[in-house]
Structure 1
């Protein structure tokens, strides 16, 4: 997960204390993630980054979450009439990175292109081959 990797890198390079990392969660998490954080914080009080990392992995790095994200990726087909290309592309890229964090940029772009289908996919293929 990108969030965990990013925090681990920052902690390593800046030697950031756990209290500074976990203090940012209140503003970092939004929506259901924020409600989840508040509930855990009230139940368990201040905890270390290691503890929070374990909780985040339990909550979001499970098979049900992966299935949900993968299904959302597969069901979202680009429609030039209703979708704004850049936000749609970025959302699809984020979804792929979430369940395939080590996927190359080439493979990400190829998978997203397959979600475009029809004339757009064909047009791109004939211009790049």
Structure 2
């Protein structure tokens, strides 16, 4: 068996050697042909460079087609919009696929909606340019107003973190985007400080204790919060209702069901404001019976 493996290895080694030799001879032939065709005063591109340029051109074409057919983000300029996500997505697509500005600007007619589309059409009547940098700046200036930042800050402050109510990553990412709207240059420490301030005291204490430092990106905070929620379930303890001892009843409470004295009637003398036990007639009769008793 070992002899067979050795023989197979030798055969494979020889084949690889032949491939290398054939590749080297092909490259040498290509080089010699290129040298033979070269003459002073003339410039001819090497076949390898031509092939590489063709490949790059085809790749570029496929990238542009792919990015053009993909789902682009929408911007309406209404409700809780975020134009920064909009422009950042286009910036990334432009950088990675080298999509031309003409394609991006033409795409604005389909990805802008509502108020944003009306504004864009009005701007196009005045500014005739296909430069994305121009329209990027115009969009940021139009929709990044002070009022928009104030609304983002208010929404940020109202959206508290409740363990188990919203997935941790979703809440942190959503709040991070809102924070970037009115504090775009905030440090990682400031971001974590603001996010921790939207939690209950128990969760905030556990998160600060688990994080080695506040000067870390939000991925660390997400991991810490997910670990806290999964293991300890803070904020979900159901407290027992406190058992309250009823207050002792006073004498007035015991007499609350009795009739007032003005309505009490003696069935002996038929008069009000006393009972038969306190009636003078009854007392007189009992006294006479005691006197008449034989000794």
Normalized against structure 2, the TM-score is what?
0.36
Change (3 A) 1:27 1:85: farther
Closer, same or farther: CA 103–111 of 1 in aligned 2, 3 Å: same
State how 1:15-34 maps to structure 2 within 5 Å.
16-26=99-109, 28=111, 34=113
Aligned to 2:158: 75
State the shift of 1:103 in Å.
1.8
Correspondence for 2:200 among 93, 114, 117:
117
Pick from 168, 176, 181: which aligns with 1:93? 176
- 1:36 is the counterpart of 2:119: no
Gap change, CA 1:55 and 1:125, over 3 Å in 2: same
Tell me, yes or no, if the aligned pair for 1:96 and 1:108 is still in contact at 8 Å: yes
Which residues of structure 1 form unaligned runs of 5+? none
CA contact (8 A) 1:73 1:96 kept: yes
Deviation of 1:62 after TM superposition, in Å, equals: 1.1
Q: Deviations over 1:84-127 (max 9, x none)?
A: 22111110011112222222223212211111132110112233
Q: Is the 8 A contact 1:2 1:98 kept in 2?
A: no
Unaligned segments of structure 2, at least 5 residues: 1-83, 213-295
Between 1 and 2, higher relative CO (CA 8 Å, sep ≥ 6) is seen in 1
Distance 2:133 2:120 in 1: 14
Per the alignment, residue 188 of structure 2 pairs with 105
* Residues 9 and 84 of structure 1: CA distance in aligned 2, closer, same or farther (over 3 Å): closer
Q: How far off its partner does 1:23 sit?
A: 3.1
Which of these residues, 129, 133, 143, is aligned with residue 60 of structure 1? 143
Give TM-score, length-normalised by structure 1.
Answer: 0.71
- TM-aligned CA distance change 1:122 to 1:39, over 3 Å: same
Structure 1 or 2: larger helix share?
Answer: 1
Equivalent-residue separation in structure 2 for 1:37 and 1:47 (angstroms) = 18
* Number of aligned residues: 125
- CA separation in 2, counterparts of 1:2 and 1:81? 27
- Are the counterparts in 2 of residues 76 and 115 from structure 1 also a CA contact under 8 Å? yes
- Structure-1 residue corresponding to 2:239: none
Separation in 2, partners of 1:127, 1:50: 43
Computed over aligned residues only, the root mean square deviation of the Cα atoms, in angstroms, reads 3.0
Rg larger in structure = 2
